[in-house]
Chain A
Amino acid sequence: MSVSSMPLMPHLIVMPVLLPLVAAAALLLIRESRHRVKAAVGIAATIGGLAVATTLLVAVNHGTGPAAIGIYLPSNWAAPFGIVLAVDRVAALMLVLTGAVSVAAALFSVGRWNRAGVHYHTLFQIQLVGVNGAFLTGDLFNLFVFFEVMLAASYGLLLHGSGTVRVRAGLKYIAFNLLASSLLLVGIAILYGVTGTLNFADIAQKIPQIPASDRGLLHAGAAILGVAVVAKAAMWPLNFWLAAAYSAAAAPVAAVFVILTKVGVYTVLRLWTLLLSAETGASAVFGSDALIVGGLATLAFGAIGMLASQQLRRVAGYSLIISSGTSLAVIGVGDATLIGAALLYLVGSTLASCALYLLAELIERSREIDAAPPIREHESDRLPFRLENRDTLAESEDDGVRPGTAIPAATSFLGLSFVACALMIAGLPPLSGFIAKFAMLSALLDPNSAGAPARHVAIAAMRTTLLVSLLVSGLLSTIALARAGLRHFWTPHDRAPPRLRVVECAPVAMLLLACAALAVGADPALRYTRDAAQALVDPAPYIDAVMSATVVPGPSAALPMATGIATR
């Protein structure tokens, strides 16, 4: 079963964008007081999205070469002229990851957070539109548009629940992202000016033909675009906002924000391997040193930051930074086996960071069981936003004590989940974090894949540094997480065991089970990510598939373009 042989296939590719968009529109029509209906629609849409993403992944995994790439032409114009959506192994993997994280966050938010402000589920779905679109798009300007959709929703979600801390963090987050978007536009404009096209595949074809006089401009454009994208991927020194902003956000919001930095990493991976691949002549692997050094600096910053953090949410934030740093440095080194291992690591660390954000909220709440609910702690009397249904929050507290909804052995559940998260993030056995890290280390030690001879010495030094950094960062995160665990679980206290709700524990358990499943099914998973990395390193089939995609003939053969209505 290849991509093209499935009955609904071409249209399934657009579903990860369309489904949340329609759900968001439907959610706007439902009154805010009917929050149960809203939650049901939101969760149904995220589960649907996960199902669609899984179907795409299975379909993509069965093809080889160009057959493994699904192309959709939303406006029915051929490739360099119309916009194009493309799904290959990496994109499908990221879609499934987004689906898993969003289902967990949407379920968790039903516990209390979706009633802390208006339009929570709508913004959540719009966020998914942007994220999925950024993974699917094959066009630079559409990438910008989907980035903006994603960011616009994230501004709203970050402020969800309101309060001084969130508004203060949101102010900086918005200002920073507006600046990064300006840089992104400048980079896109320069690339368009030099190559005369916006389609990824078409740019990749045009770059080897660019005259030497325009090379400087091309490299400047690529560098500006790169800075804008690594700012989203949280590369040092552009990541000062991350830990503060994410720890200010409501728990399910922070959990879904985990995927935002991965969008940055994915974009670096896609653009860098496609536009500046080894076949592009004078521009080949431009900027790989910057990626490796930046990635290593990010890794060091994340590890030290994690060691210095006291709050669990900050620890989770720095674990994200470590994950980004590792991925960026590995992309810079750029051989297929290594990137394949890093993709598995990326999946595992995303799931674990997401679970840790959710868990941090549960742990903090269980420690403050007698105090006022944490949702009110940042609020002052002069709220700038109208918070509807504020009384239902108090009601939801009572739900927790209702018999039958609290789960037994709550303390052990929290403790075990925390240990699982820590094992994943630090890369210790037996979960998949260890397997991915081990695969990365063995790929780094493999002397046969050390790159082109001309770059051999520099790259070999970088590889050794990366190897040592990976091990040291693993040690530092083990220390930091062990210390956090000691403080949160082994400190004696005399209070009632925490009461947890099933709906809030299920997402955490689900994410950690997914990590365990990744460890059990590590062989097929690693084979899949290696195939994905191989397709990235050798982009010719992707370019062929995009450029040879044919338009669907219109109802009248004389007017084949009659159905080409632009969707943007």
Chain B
Amino acid sequence: MEVLIALSIGVLTCCGVWLVLQSRTFQVLIGLALLAYGVNLFIFSMGSLSVGAEPIIRPGVPADLLHYTDPLPQALVLTAIVISFAATALFLVVLLASRGLTDSDHVDGEEERP
């Protein structure tokens, strides 16, 4: 599972970085969204990956990460998801405003001159 998670974070981040470096605003937007997904998975994976474990302490079971999953990164990632989603949505609004004002979807608001 570690390999699978690491690969998905890597692929998401690679695609995100590549798209952010493009010159069209919509590609930048999708790139930022993909980067946010990669980062969210990364935070999630910091709390030790485990299958079928739960974060609630049961009597008689020692309270360590071998028997439980860490609840804190799950709480953190929830906050991070909300914030990155909201910020990306705001970027979309500004993108549309820029498209409307400049008649161009280039990040500079005008086409490059050859």
B94 sits at the interface (CB 8 A): yes
User: Judging by beta carbons under 8 Å apart, are B96 and A164 in contact?
Assistant: no
CB A144 to nearest CB in B, in angstroms, measures: 8
Q: Bound complex: CA of A163 vs CA of B95, how far in Å?
A: 13
Are B87 and A148 in contact, CB atoms less than 8 angstroms apart?
A: yes
Q: Measured between C-beta atoms, what is the minimum distance from B38 to chain A in Å? A: 8
Q: Is the CB of B32 within 8 A of A178?
A: yes
CB-CB < 8 A to B20: which residues of A? 175, 179
Within 8 A of A (CB), among B22-77: 25, 28, 32, 35-36, 39, 42-43, 46-47, 72-73, 76
**B98→A175 contact, CB < 8 A:** no
CB closest chain-A residue, reference B17: A179
Q: Which residues of A contact B28 (CB under 8 A)?
A: 175
Chain A hits for B83, CB < 8 A: 145, 148, 181
Q: Which residues of A contact B88 (CB under 8 A)?
A: 178
User: Which residue of chain B has its CB nearest to the CB of A145?
Assistant: B79
Q: Chain A residues near B35: list those with CB within 8 A.
A: 178-179, 182
Q: Which chain B residues numbered 70 to 114 have a C-beta less than 8 Å away from chain A?
A: 72-73, 76, 79-80, 83-84, 86-88, 90-91, 94-98, 100-102, 107-109
- As a 0/1 sequence over residues 177 to 195 of chain A, the CB contacts with chain B under 8 angstroms (1 = contact) are 0110110011011101100
CA distance A162 to B79 in the complex (A): 30
Cα of A186 to Cα of B10 in the assembled complex, Å = 13
Residue on A nearest B110 in the bound complex, by CB = A168
Main secondary structure of the interface of A (DSSP, over half): helix
CA distance A193 to B45 in the complex (A): 9
Whether the Cβ atoms of B32 and A189 lie closer than 8 Å is no
B39 touches A167 (CB 8 A): no
Please determine whether A182 and B36 come into contact, CB atoms closer than 8 angstroms. yes
A186 to B20, CA, bound (A): 17
Residue of chain A at shortest CB distance from B103: A382
A141 interface hit (Cβ, 8 Å): yes
For A185, the chain B residues whose CB sits under 8 A away are 39, 42-43, 80
Q: Which residues of chain B come closer than 8 Å to A568, judged between CB atoms?
A: 79
Determine the distance from Cα of A188 to Cα of B109 in the docked complex, in whole angstroms: 34
**Are B101 and A152 in contact (CB-based, < 8 A)?**
no
Residues of B within 8 A of A174 (CB): 87, 90-91, 94
Bits for A532-568, please: 1 = Cβ < 8 Å to B, else 0. 0000000000000000000000000000000000001
CA of A192 to CA of B80, assembled, Å: 15
- Flag whether A170 is at the interface (Cβ < 8 A): yes
Separation of A186 and B73 alpha carbons in the complex (Å)? 12
Chain A residues near B36 (CB-CB < 8 A): 178, 182
Which residues does chain B contribute within 8 Å of A144, judged by CB atoms?
A: 80
Interface positions of A (Cβ within 8 A of B): 141, 144-145, 148, 151-152, 155, 159, 162-164, 167-168, 170-172, 174-175, 178-179, 181-182, 185-186, 188-190, 192-193, 198, 380, 382, 384-385, 568
List the 10 closest pairs (A to B, CB-CB), nearest first.
Answer: A384-B97, A193-B46, A189-B43, A168-B109, A189-B46, A164-B101, A182-B39, A148-B83, A167-B98, A167-B97
* Pairs A–B under 8 Å by Cβ, sample size 8: A167-B102, A168-B108, A178-B91, A181-B87, A182-B36, A186-B39, A188-B76, A380-B101
Interface, chain B (partner A; CB < 8 A): 20, 25, 28, 32, 35-36, 39, 42-43, 46-47, 72-73, 76, 79-80, 83-84, 86-88, 90-91, 94-98, 100-102, 107-109
